[in-house]
Chains A and B, each alone.
Chain A
């Protein structure tokens, strides 16, 4: 299936630091979604991006849809312990129109 390359795989940071993670693909997508998943829970939608170049914020989170439509990044500013979790990027696979494809995830650990 379609691959989304997400990096870094894991991050260990101190509380208060800023975080940046990104996803790239060899294919063009119309939508980028960013999810957060905590242990024992399902993914929770954080930000949805629909337009190339779009920059969207949700509190301390900011995400951008790359101009080429092949990449996206998610920034978290002033991290806090409750930011801990796995962050996934996801795209609708254009060829089928019915399949949300996920990146491998970024495991974030925040040390108080």
Chain B
């Protein structure tokens, strides 16, 4: 089955680091970009950036450049989103999603990972 399965919900304190994951299966992982989308509770979707697992090329939305790090490990078909120092404003649902080759849309989504940052 073609799917993206994300890691479970996290509760962290401000200033802590965090790395969440997105495990891909059922397709050629190195042939598709994997992106991350943020959704603050009750709000809309925000594009964060994506990684091409084939060569680890990474592109960020200007809004998130320098705030997060996106990476991928093709040996275990997993993409990551990480923070070095969380803030309360990072509290949100985070989705990974797949961009087809030469594509311009997100055709497969993970189930989401809820990150709560609270002191």
The judgment on whether A and B are partners is no
B binding-site residues for A, Cβ under 8 Å: none
